[in-house]
């Protein structure tokens, strides 16, 4: 870590996070200890400040639990292959789904959407998409306009952007961090942009109500 | 509602939902009462079964609270204009964000992504995307490969698929239901497909580990 020169109170002031919360992050092994200068004092620096901001992003914006946040932070700090860091990040933001609870029809349908893709049978996203298919048909809906297929095409564009961001980083630590940040924030970013785009497309198509152009 | 001929116990058996849970849904005004045939008995039919499945989809798969689920179900049942149903569905799946907590830089950046789109200033997706931008830059990340812009393009494709599904329905009730189902399930579908696509794109690009093709 870079030069540590701030006391805990200053780290709190700079991060905007209460000192009690910072101490909680340390007890939970989310944040490394400071540089000890005496039995009663430790100093902190930019690296700690950056880590606190990342913890906040994972928990407050990404909605991760403390346990999930610890797992992805450990993956960033480790020397694991990036592929493993990706898997840990994916699992941290995915609900565990028992494949036994899914219909064969749903899995077949989702695999057809991903025809030609290299995807493991236990990819959490494959199972999540199959559950959506079961739910969609379970409420009596029919995919009348290629909704699933078109979502798969959009998801492929987003995934290519994700991997390009990864490739744009040189160092292993920076690659691991963008894997985690992109995985956690990407869902929120996309869902936000989709809601804005829904308003736009429906305004275009139905021409009412006339929303202001931003 | 269609012909009601099942007792509560049979409705429970057909839906796979415990009778106590079904009674809870009734008390919470998520599920309408049955057709009363005597002071102690009411009968239920396909319409009740379909509604229970929709409630499960909203709560279990969509992660909606009871209050949010009630709001969107009321919107489906109402005679509100579809545009309002859309807004209610969007708010039900969006965290309320105070625009005052966002930087001007984030809003400017997100509005540039949506240049030419007709989007209200208080669209919850616009605010959510701006918060992601603030978080992304707050953890020291730089958008090196057009990540935000490409997500906006993908979101536009998904929104067009959403509105096409809406247009494929003739009746107001069916349109309102797909608005709600698509809004709630669409986030989960996309994030699942994105995780699968990430595995595919990284397997293609790094050629290791060799995942099985599904």
pLDDT at B141: 94
Q: pLDDT tens, A50-92?
A: 999 999 999 988 889 999 999 999 999 998 888 889 899 999 8
Q: Are residues B9 and B86 in the same domain?
A: no
pLDDT at A3: 77
Q: Would B66 be classed as within a structural domain?
A: no
Chain B contact for A104 (CB, 8 A cutoff): no
Q: Are residues A21 and A116 in the same domain?
A: no
- Give the length of chain A: 214
Q: Which residues of chain B have pLDDT under 70?
A: 1-2, 208-214
CB atoms A213 and B118 under 8 Å: yes
As a whole number of Å, the CA-based R_g of chain B is 21
Q: Among B107, B177, B192, B206, pick the best mutation site for testing chain A contact (most A Cβ within 10 A).
A: B192
Rounded Cα–Cα distance for residues B76 and A162 (Å): 36
Q: Does ipTM surpass 0.85 in this model?
A: yes
Q: Are residues B82 and B188 in the same domain?
A: yes
The percentage of chain A sitting over the pLDDT mark of 70, rounded to a whole number, equals 95
State the Cα angle at B95 between B93 and B97, rounded to 5°. 145
What CATH number does the domain containing B25 carry? Answer: 1.10.1660.10
Name which of B147, B37, B100, B23 is nearest A186 in CA terms.
Answer: B147
Q: pLDDT tens, A146-184?
A: 999 999 999 999 999 999 999 999 999 899 999 999 999
Q: Would B202 be classed as within a structural domain?
A: yes
CB atoms B159 and A211 under 8 Å: no
State the Cα angle at B21 between B87 and B59, rounded to 5°. 30
Indicate the DSSP class of residue B171: S
Q: Would B192 be classed as within a structural domain?
A: yes
**Token pair 């009778």 is at which residue?**
B19
What's the CA dihedral at B50, B52, B58, B64 to 10 degrees? Answer: 160
Q: Would B213 be classed as within a structural domain?
A: no
CB atoms B147 and A159 under 8 Å: no
Q: Would B165 be classed as within a structural domain?
A: yes
Q: Tell me which residue in B116, B161, B197 faces A150 most closely, judged by beta carbons.
A: B161
Rounded Cα–Cα distance for residues B100 and B98 (Å): 5
Rounded Cα–Cα distance for residues B182 and A144 (Å): 12
What backbone phi and psi angles, to 5 degrees, belong to B45?
-140, -165
Q: Are residues B21 and B100 in the same domain?
A: no
CB atoms A125 and B178 under 8 Å: no
State which residue of chain B sits closest to A141, comparing Cα positions.
B178
Q: pLDDT tens, B150-178?
A: 999 999 999 999 999 999 999 998 999 99
* Cβ contacts from A onto B, under 8 A: 355
Q: What stretches of chain B adopt beta strand conformation (E)?
A: 4-6, 35-38, 41-45
CB-count burial class (<10 Å; 0-12, 13-18, 19+) for B21:
middle
- Work out the minimum CA distance from A118 to partner chain B, whole angstroms: 5
Q: Are residues B118 and B150 in the same domain?
A: yes
Residues B154 and B194: beta-carbon distance below 8 Å? no
Rounded Cα–Cα distance for residues A72 and A70 (Å): 6
Q: Could you tell me the pLDDT band of residue A212, with boundaries at 50, 70 and 90?
A: low
State the Cα angle at B190 between B198 and B110, rounded to 5°. 90
Q: Could you tell me the pLDDT band of residue A210, with boundaries at 50, 70 and 90?
A: very low
Q: Tell me which residue in A123, A187, A204 faces B191 most closely, judged by beta carbons.
A: A187
Rounded Cα–Cα distance for residues A113 and A151 (Å): 9
Q: Are residues A202 and A117 in the same domain?
A: yes
Residues A44 and A6: beta-carbon distance below 8 Å? yes
Chain B contact for A164 (CB, 8 A cutoff): yes
Q: Would B113 be classed as within a structural domain?
A: yes
Q: Are residues A41 and A111 in the same domain?
A: no
Structure tokens at A186: 């990407």
Indicate the DSSP class of residue A145: S
- Work out the minimum CA distance from A37 to partner chain B, whole angstroms: 27
- Work out the minimum CA distance from B8 to partner chain A, whole angstroms: 20
What backbone phi and psi angles, to 5 degrees, belong to A100?
-65, -20
Count the neighbouring beta carbons within 10 Å of the beta carbon of residue B27. Answer: 8
Q: Would A81 be classed as within a structural domain?
A: no
Query: Of B15, B39, B61, which residue constitutes the final position of a domain?
Result: B61
Residues B191 and A126: beta-carbon distance below 8 Å? no
Q: Are residues A136 and A195 in the same domain?
A: yes
- Work out the minimum CA distance from A152 to partner chain B, whole angstroms: 6
Q: Are residues A49 and A137 in the same domain?
A: no
Q: Are residues B200 and B180 in the same domain?
A: yes
Residues 122-161 of B with CB under 8 A from A: 123-129, 131-132, 135-136, 138-141, 143-148, 150-161
Distances (CA, A) of B107 to A214, B115, B138: 10, 12, 14
Q: Would B75 be classed as within a structural domain?
A: yes
Rounded Cα–Cα distance for residues A96 and A129 (Å): 12
Chain A contact for B106 (CB, 8 A cutoff): no
Q: What is the average pLDDT across A116-122?
A: 95
Query: Of B38, B61, B84, which residue constitutes the final position of a domain?
Result: B61
Q: Is the dihedral of CA B203, B206, B209, B212 positive or negative?
A: positive
Domain count, chain A: 2
Q: What residue numbers bound the domain in which A42 lies? A: 4-61
Q: Which residues of B77-92 are buried (b: 16+ CB within 10 A; e: fewer)?
A: eeebeebebbbbbbbb
Q: Are residues A110 and A57 in the same domain?
A: no
Q: Are residues B83 and B166 in the same domain?
A: yes
Contacts of A46 in chain B (CB under 8 A): none
């Amino acid at each position: 870590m870079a030069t540590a020169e701030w006391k805990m109170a200053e780290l709190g002031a700079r991060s905007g996070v209460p000192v009690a919360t910072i101490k909680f992050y340390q007890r939970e092994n989310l944040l490394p200890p400071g540089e000890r200068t005496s039995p009663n004092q430790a100093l902190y620096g930019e690296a700690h400040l950056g880590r606190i901001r990342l913890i906040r992003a994972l928990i407050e914006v990404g909605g991760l639990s403390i346990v999930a946040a610890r797992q992805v932070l450990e993956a960033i700090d480790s020397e694991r292959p990036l592929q493993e860091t990706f898997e840990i990040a994916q699992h941290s933001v995915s609900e565990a789904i028992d494949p036994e609870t899914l219909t064969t029809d749903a899995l077949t349908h989702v695999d057809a959407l991903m025809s030609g893709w290299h995807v493991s049978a236990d990819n959490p996203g494959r199972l999540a998409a199959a559950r959506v298919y079961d739910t969609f048909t379970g409420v009596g809906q029919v995919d009348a306009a290629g909704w699933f297929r078109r979502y798969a095409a959009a998801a492929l564009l987003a995934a290519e952007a994700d991997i390009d961001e990864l490739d744009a980083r040189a160092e292993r630590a920076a690659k691991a961090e963008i894997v985690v940040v992109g995985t956690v924030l990407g869902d929120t970013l996309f869902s936000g942009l989709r809601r804005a785009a829904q308003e736009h497309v429906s305004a275009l198509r139905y021409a009412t109500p006339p929303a202001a152009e931003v």
